[in-house]
Structure 1
């Protein structure tokens, strides 16, 4: 939700993407209240609302929800969000739901029957793993928040370098606080290969970076790169020793366990496994 709080224009952009409906032209865009309270008094709170047009009489209000897993309660609260917001703002309303995976997205797309004939809510849903790839640098600069979603979804796809270059370009136009937030979040979601590619792009000198964040990151990255290289070398040595111990005791590793070992980045965990392997009779005794 931080992306929408930082840039409300992300909401109509994604709404058009998933619905195919072009939002009304607007000169103003703003946030509305996330709280919907009735007189019972029960409080209903959505993740975010975005108002297109004059905040006092908007042309469209968008309720934005991030749904991480199916939750039957939302089939009752989502219609409340829309009807309450429509009554409060006296304007058309719609629901945009963002999901982290295909299964949850399919659940969210299921129509919600109100019980009144013809009154059915069909949420607009975006599976974040299917977010479109932003490779155009002007697009990246105009809407960095969309580029964040694009990078997470497409960094391991065929357009990896172009997607990561666009993300680096987006960071160039963000202030330091946002830049650090977006960079750290995206980096935590990337594969090791994608992280390395992003670092190469930012360190390559292809661009003359100007923003405070980019210049600070480049300087820190060079120092961290040296340290990270030393740590990776140490971890690889520990993994090699563990594999030798396992082999010498006659253990056979399947593909999943082999990957678990070789991708482990915690040297203490690797050492623990190696100590257990010296006396264990089964793999379960070592890795459970």
Structure 2
């Protein structure tokens, strides 16, 4: 049974348009996933102006999860990490008590090209919200492949479909990229209280109802619906155990409102370090 359908809404992050799915007024989270943006598909003409980059900005209380289908982004953070992310690879940055990072189109700057992928945030359990920040990059070769008749994809994080990802997670979840041929049944992992499928391309049929690209289909707890790809489809499957309510303001997530206020003050007064390899500019607090 389908519990809710969320249509992505166009949202501007500087000179770049994204399709925002989570948070949504009727559904703030799916499992620990509290933020879900489709970055593209968009053709960026070269040379790409620096106004399209995401300048250094802060996070607390969450992990950012960046996974690309096309294009290249250069990540730099306050831990001193510099890492290009390419299609099929994964950047998993845990903000914990506080981190800042930038995302720039350095490798695509001159030639331009197509950009497409998903930026998600995963909230941390309350007892881990203040852990030390961390960053881990996983190459495409490290993520388990899903290869069955009519199905191809990767298990990005968690355990599902008989596979286990090497990605460290702080709460039970699953996150999968899957491509399904027309007429193929799509497996929805069980064992998690909250589950959803975001349709990147193509379309799904559930109980006679069709859903199309740009929609996130949220499923009822414990249900095992028959899901059919009625055309060749590109999907993101996600879910996990709920963590309880979270406050979210700008790039900050926390169980406690006062912690959000502290993070605002910390960023405004320079107590969250800028990336040492990208410290000439930053995004100020929205209210300033």
TM-score, normalized by length of structure 1?
0.26
TM-score, normalized by length of structure 2?
0.26
More strand by share: 2
| Structure with max Cα Rg | 1
More helix by share: 1
Higher relative contact order (CA 8 A, sep 6+): 2
